[in-house]
Amino acid sequence: MNGLGMSTASRKRIFKNTLALSIPSMLNPVISFVLVLIISRYLGVQGLGQYSLVLAYLGIFATLAVLGLDHLVVREAAKRPEDIHLLFFNAGLFGTVSSLVSLLAMNLLIAVMGYEKVVVQAGFICSLSLVASTAIGYMEAIFRSVEKAEYVTFTYLPENVVRVAVCAVLILSGYGITALFTAILGTRILAAVMMFIFYVKVLGMPGARLDGRVWRLLAAEAPTFASIAVFSTIHLSLDQIMLSKLKSVDAVGIYSAADRLLDICRTTPTAFAAALLPVLTREFLEGVDRLHKLTVDSLRYLFIGTIPVVVGTALLSDQIITLIYGVKFEASIPVLTLHIVSLVPFSMAFVLAQVLIATNNQRVDLAVNIAAAIINFVLNLMLIPMWGAWGAALATLITIVIFNQLQYLFIRQRLFRIAFAGLVPKPLVAAGVMACATYVLRDLNVFLNIGLSAAVYFAVLLAVRGFSAEDTDFLRRLIRDRFPRS
């Protein structure tokens, strides 16, 4: 491995923290699917649409409440670990005020939009969780910066299990959407308490001291990071809101059935990107060449992991939708077939965003997010009236492709070039062979098909040397360290 390569220690840290962040990110949506399944079976398409619509609003305002400063906290704490408590305490005060403002704004917007009473009530109850969610966001940022992401898992998994269990009991007992969001509020508060206990246990009690330097940093960067977070969330959530107004709440239910599957597939790339930020920051301090190598390696891993998921899901979309949601969600099949294609550009965008933040180019990321929000709005306005949920999926795909190309345009001009021609062909070849196997095996049980297809993919990838010598050496070391011979 040359001097610019990713060190074994860096690989281990990224692998550990990706795994720690992926576990709740992967398992929580799976656990939540139990709730989605119960909602779809007992409350129907309309109930799922109402639930998804309120969550879409919550996503926007939870992001606004955090002000996007969680990314700043990760970066600054990675640079200056001695300031961790100051960053947490002062950012927490900052976030408390912004959470209260977001709470009022969320309820005002939902009221102005003229939704039915049950949506307005559920939105109000849900908005009360914003303060707790903001506190959780900053504590998670601290754990990411010190590469102790396992404590995020220790919090999120119990929270989601309790939430789904309580919500399932409520629905089966005849309660509706309002009761569900009351349970969600309670579990958010529980999670905030749990994560603070972990914070104190691992890092000690944060001192209650105002620091002018930290406040000046937060005040200077909050507009940029908050705007990035808001516009990013808007262009990710706008489709469901526009579907609710241009079509119907039922259309939101059809779209969200496919969108939740895409969310599950995005969990590992999102966790991987989150684990990268502190490492990217430190590598950049050592030089652009080190940052370049880490970025290229990271994108290669993402392409290896996401391309087969896209191909397999598109081929099996009918079986997946029917298995999970039932035949009444057949309209979601073509939506999923198209929507899953967004996984690859989404994953690329996650990593490039971390590169921009690590190099203090977050204002570029803001400009790209603003452009994406505008593009997504225009595309949804054009495509939803014609094609409904499928049009919303197409708008998302076009938007995210433009999004990551704009990100890369700046990186190429100001930092470095990325030779994508050397990263994509081998995963594509392996995925093409896998697609033939997946199609031939369509009559088998869907889970057996997925397992066999994955085996074919990795066998072909090994045959075409899709993994570098560094990758295989790292895996050997990892297996040897985890399972030493007696």
Range of lowest pLDDT (10-19, 178-187, 409-418, 429-438): 10-19
pLDDT at 256: 84
Q: Does residue 133 carry a pLDDT above 70?
A: yes
**Residue of 37 and 262 predicted with greater confidence:** 262
Interatomic CA distance for residues 3 and 7, integer angstroms: 9
Quote the Cα angle for 162-262-384, to 5°: 115
User: Do 64 and 105 touch, CB atoms closer than 8 A?
Assistant: yes
* 305 domain-assigned: yes
Tokens of 481: 């360290």
Interatomic CA distance for residues 408 and 415, integer angstroms: 10
* 184 domain-assigned: yes
- pLDDT band of residue 4 (cuts 50, 70, 90) is very low
- pLDDT band of residue 5 (cuts 50, 70, 90) is very low
Residue among 134, 127, 147 at smallest CA distance from 57: 127
| Sign of the alpha-carbon dihedral angle for 438, 259, 269, 149 | negative
Residue found under tokens 């370049």: 292
* 231 domain-assigned: yes
pTM: 0.69
**Interaxial angle between packed helices 343-358 and 69-79, expressed in degrees from 0 to 180 and rounded to the nearest 10:** 50
| Percent of the chain clearing pLDDT 90 (strictly above) | 27
Interatomic CA distance for residues 399 and 371, integer angstroms: 9
pLDDT at 150: 75
SS (H, E, C) the chain: CCCCCCCHHHHHHHHHHHHHHHHHHHHHHHHHHHHHHHHHHHCHHHHHHHHHHHHHHHHHHHHHHHCCHHHHHHHHHHHCHHHHHHHHHHHHHHHHHHHHHHHHHHHHHHHHCCCCHHHHHHHHHHHCCHHHHHHHHHHHHHHHHCCCCHHHHHHHHHHHHHHHHHHHHHHHCCCCHHHHHHHHHHHHHHHHHHHHHHHHHHHCCCCCCCCHHHHHHHHHHHHHHHHHHHHHHHHHHHHHHHHHHHCCHHHHHHHHHHHHHHHHHHHHHHHHHHHHHHHHHHHHHHCHHHHHHHHHHHHHHHHHHHHHHHHHHHHCHHHHHHHHHCHHHCCHHHHHHHHHHHHHHHHHHHHHHHHHHHCCCHHHHHHHHHHHHHHHHHHHHHHHHHHHHHHHHHHHHHHHHHHHHHHHHHHHHHCCCCCHHHCCHHHHHHHHHHHHHHHHCCCCCHHHHHHHHHHHHHHHHHHCCCCCHHHHHHHHHHHHHHCCCC
The per-residue pLDDT of the chain, averaged, comes to 83
* 439 domain-assigned: no
* 408 domain-assigned: yes
* 85 domain-assigned: yes
As a whole number, mean pLDDT of residues 317-329 equals: 87
As a whole number, mean pLDDT of residues 92-121 equals: 87
User: Do 231 and 376 touch, CB atoms closer than 8 A?
Assistant: no
C-alpha to C-alpha distances, 464 to 293, 420, 460, nearest whole angstrom? 22, 17, 6
Cα dihedral angle (375, 378, 383, 385), rounded to 10 degrees?
A: 150
Tokens of 233: 């969330």
**Domain count within the chain:** 1
Q: Does residue 290 carry a pLDDT above 70?
A: yes
Q: Which residues contact 275 (CB under 8 A, 6 or more apart)?
A: 13, 14, 17, 18, 20, 21, 144, 149
User: Do 92 and 66 touch, CB atoms closer than 8 A?
Assistant: no
User: Do 355 and 280 touch, CB atoms closer than 8 A?
Assistant: yes
Q: Does residue 448 carry a pLDDT above 50?
A: yes
pLDDT at 96: 86
**Residue of 389 and 45 predicted with greater confidence:** 389
Task: Dump pLDDT digits (tens) for 32-62.
Answer: 667 777 787 777 777 777 887 888 788 778 8
Interatomic CA distance for residues 40 and 60, integer angstroms: 24
pLDDT at 23: 58
As a whole number, mean pLDDT of residues 123-148 equals: 86
**Residue of 480 and 121 predicted with greater confidence:** 121
pLDDT at 26: 58
Q: Which residues of 348-375 are buried (b: 16+ CB within 10 A; e: fewer)?
A: bbbbbbbbbbbbebbebbbbbbbbbbeb
User: Do 335 and 258 touch, CB atoms closer than 8 A?
Assistant: yes
Q: What are phi and psi of 148, to 5 degrees?
A: -120, 50
User: Do 87 and 142 touch, CB atoms closer than 8 A?
Assistant: yes
Interatomic CA distance for residues 407 and 369, integer angstroms: 9
Range of lowest pLDDT (167-181, 336-350, 366-380, 459-473): 459-473
Task: Dump pLDDT digits (tens) for 402-428.
Answer: 998 999 999 999 899 998 888 899 999
* 162 domain-assigned: yes
Q: What are phi and psi of 466, to 5 degrees?
A: -75, -20
User: Do 256 and 331 touch, CB atoms closer than 8 A?
Assistant: no
* 470 domain-assigned: no
Q: Which domain holds residue 31?
A: 8-423
Most confidently predicted of 9-18, 235-244, 355-364, 455-464: 455-464
As a whole number, mean pLDDT of residues 220-238 equals: 74
Interatomic CA distance for residues 69 and 225, integer angstroms: 6
